[in-house]
Chain A
Amino acid sequence: MIISEVLKLIDGKIVAGEKYLSREVSKAFSSDLMSDVLTLDTDEILLITGLINVQTIRTAEMAEISCIAFVRNKKVTKEMVSLAEVNHMVLIECASSMFSVSGKLYQAGIQPVF
């Protein structure tokens, strides 16, 4: 599935990386715990999180994650957007809960990491 389809499915708003709308995502992981994200062996996944701060972007940078969906109507900060842009990442804001976003994407065929 490509990012633009993800946006449609979860009724998300893209706030960084508009030029990467046709990037593919096939796997996702949902967590607010960055230490958890750092234990994954899979990279190039979609990260679904409610954790709003620069460490989320740093964690994604270290873990080779280039697309993050922020759930629960949390708003991404300017610092997060600039750091994401330097790292060619896509950031998505979404009003729904983590459960709802995960469920919709799972149903549409996005695979879990484990």
Chain B
Amino acid sequence: MHAQYEIQGGDFTKAGLASSEVKKMLKQLNLDPKIIKRIAVAMYEAEVNVVAHAYHGIMDIELNTEKIIIKVQDTGPGIADIDKAMEEGFSTASKEVREMGFGAGMGLPNIKKNADELILNSKINKGTEVKLVFYLNHQ
């Protein structure tokens, strides 16, 4: 199965819409609720990052019986130092982002905690790709 959703950068009124759609779809597939929650939390933080830090994004979902791959690709400023961005507490978020309850530098570390695999690629002044892999039949 394959699906794509758009993410509008800067628009906090719609932040989470894509994640919400994907979560509903996963619920219909009767996956383990624990896996669904891990996926929901990780993709939502990734979606919020596009809204908070980039201009425009696409959330791409690929699902088979073994795993689910979520790619969140954006056009935006990119991340200069990925190791630094992964550190808990590091944030360049604006005041507006913090007023939304985000911007404490906890998103990427929490994405890493929840996903089985996290692959981050970024090019300055071009954009960022966050690839998340979740294995569905974990023991």
Q: Is B79 engaged at the interface, CB distance under 8 Å to the other chain?
A: no
Contacts of B99 in A (CB 8 A): 53
- Take A35-B110, A38-B45 as given contacts and tell me if A61 and B20 are in contact as well, using a CB distance cutoff of 8 Å: yes
CA of A3 to CA of B13, assembled, Å: 29
Which parts of B70-125 form the interface with A (CB within 8 Å)? 99-104, 106-107, 110, 113
Q: How large is the interface on B (under 10, 10 to 19, 20 to 34, 35 or more residues)?
A: 20 to 34
Q: Which of A58, A63, A79 contacts B37 (CB 8 A)?
A: A63
Q: Is the interface of B mostly helix, strand, loop or mixed?
A: helix
Whether A55 pairs with B15 at a CB distance below 8 angstroms is: yes
Q: Which of A32, A33, A37, A55 contacts B16 (CB 8 A)?
A: A55
Q: Is the interface of A mostly helix, strand, loop or mixed?
A: helix
Looking at the assembled complex, report how far the CB atom of A87 sits from the nearest CB atom of chain B, in whole angstroms.
Answer: 9
Q: Which of A34, A38, A39, A61 contacts B100 (CB 8 A)?
A: A34
Whether B37 pairs with A34 at a CB distance below 8 angstroms is: no
Whether B13 pairs with A35 at a CB distance below 8 angstroms is: no
Q: Is B44 engaged at the interface, CB distance under 8 Å to the other chain?
A: yes
Whether A36 pairs with B37 at a CB distance below 8 angstroms is: no
Contacts of B19 in A (CB 8 A): 58, 62
Which parts of A1-60 form the interface with B (CB within 8 Å)? 32-39, 43, 51, 53-56, 58-59
Whether A55 pairs with B102 at a CB distance below 8 angstroms is: yes
Whether A34 pairs with B101 at a CB distance below 8 angstroms is: yes
- Take A35-B110, A64-B37 as given contacts and tell me if A53 and B100 are in contact as well, using a CB distance cutoff of 8 Å: yes
Whether A35 pairs with B107 at a CB distance below 8 angstroms is: yes
Q: Is B41 engaged at the interface, CB distance under 8 Å to the other chain?
A: yes
Contacts of A64 in B (CB 8 A): 33, 37
Q: Is B5 engaged at the interface, CB distance under 8 Å to the other chain?
A: no
Looking at the assembled complex, report how far the CB atom of A108 sits from the nearest CB atom of chain B, in whole angstroms.
Answer: 27
Task: Give the interface of A toward B (CB within 8 A).
Answer: 32-39, 43, 51, 53-56, 58-59, 61-64, 79
Task: Give the interface of B toward A (CB within 8 A).
Answer: 12-13, 15-16, 19-20, 23, 33, 37, 40-41, 44-45, 48, 99-104, 106-107, 110, 113
